[in-house]
Structure 1
Amino acid sequence: MKHDKVKLGFIAAAMMNIGGVLVFSRAFTNSVINEFDPVVMSNFGLLMIVVWGLAYLGAAFIESNVKWLAGAFAIEKLVYVIAWVVWFTEHSLGTVYNKDLFAGVFYSIYGLNDLVFMLFFAWVFFTQGKKVQGS
């Protein structure tokens, strides 16, 4: 049962990365996202988020221990959470919403999404390989 939860979690993380970027960036054509964070959220940066999503998807189908892979993913998500918090200290979300609704929603939720999946990947890291009671 635990493997099914892990697999579904990895698939959900993949879909959020891939789908989220493609929807909110309007398939990399929403320049407002780039404008408000030209380093992390450049089109190259957004493409790399999609690539991370592909890595999560690939990891979902690994049948053996993914402890250290999940640990690396947790650290990667931590970096994005920190980038998001720093972004909020330097920008006004209202200004983004005034320029583009999709960009505003993107900047509102991406860090929270990354926090949730960081916790999921950390959970996998800390529990992978341990015998779960009742399974």
Structure 2
Amino acid sequence: MTLNDKTISKGFIIAGIMNSSVLLFSRLFTNTTIPEFDPTVMSNFGLLMIFVWGLAYISVAKVYKNVKWLIAIFAVEKFIYGCIWTNWMLSNNISTVFEKDSMAGIFYAIYGVNDWLFFIFFSFVFVRLMRFGDHK
């Protein structure tokens, strides 16, 4: 699979926008249901940090080739969130979240899928940079 530079840059922007959607699902951090179901990871502070990570993705969209090790960190971060979500899904009943608040239910239903997809994307970009540098 070959992705050109413009497509990869768009991928970073999309990743940032997806993380920024936490503002919508959390209703600007006023939705108490999201932190209720995972107070450690999804506290309002945790949700704010998800937003900040999104800003970091957008900030490197045009210069990602210059920060290959940061892209590796993005992949690790997405891997961790993906694992946390998978564990959460195996240990919780998402229908309980939907019953309490549909926005929180949608958030819990999709955030981990998003993290796994962007783990793959960031890993792909990092491997490409390690293998080809600026030349591809």
- TM (normalized to structure 2)? 0.91
2:65–2:129 Cα contact (<8 Å) kept: no
Runs of 4+ in 1 over 4 A off after TM superposition: none
Identical pairs, percent: 50
| Mapping 1:31-46, distance limit 5 Å | 31-46=32-47
Whether 2:90 is the aligned partner of 1:94: answer no
Q: How does 1:10-49 map to 2 (within 5 A)?
A: 10-18=12-20, 20-49=21-50
Displacement after TM superposition at 1:63 (Å): 6.2
**Offset, 1:84:** 0.2
SS at match of 1:61: coil
TM-aligned CA deviation for residue 35 of structure 1: 0.2
Q: 1:90 to 1:63 in 2, by over 3 A?
A: closer
Equivalent in the alignment of 1:6: 8
Q: 1:65, 1:128 within 8 Å by CA — same for their partners in 2?
A: no
Structure 1: runs of 5+ lacking an equivalent? none
Counterparts of 2:72 and 2:64, CA distance in 1: 17
Q: Distance in 1 between matches of 2:30 and 2:117?
A: 27
> Contact between 2:16 and 2:55, CA under 8 Å: does it hold in 1?
yes
Q: Cα 1:65–1:110, aligned 2, differ >3 Å: closer, same or farther?
A: same
Aligned residues: 131
> How far, CA to CA, are the matches of 1:54 and 1:84 in structure 2?
21
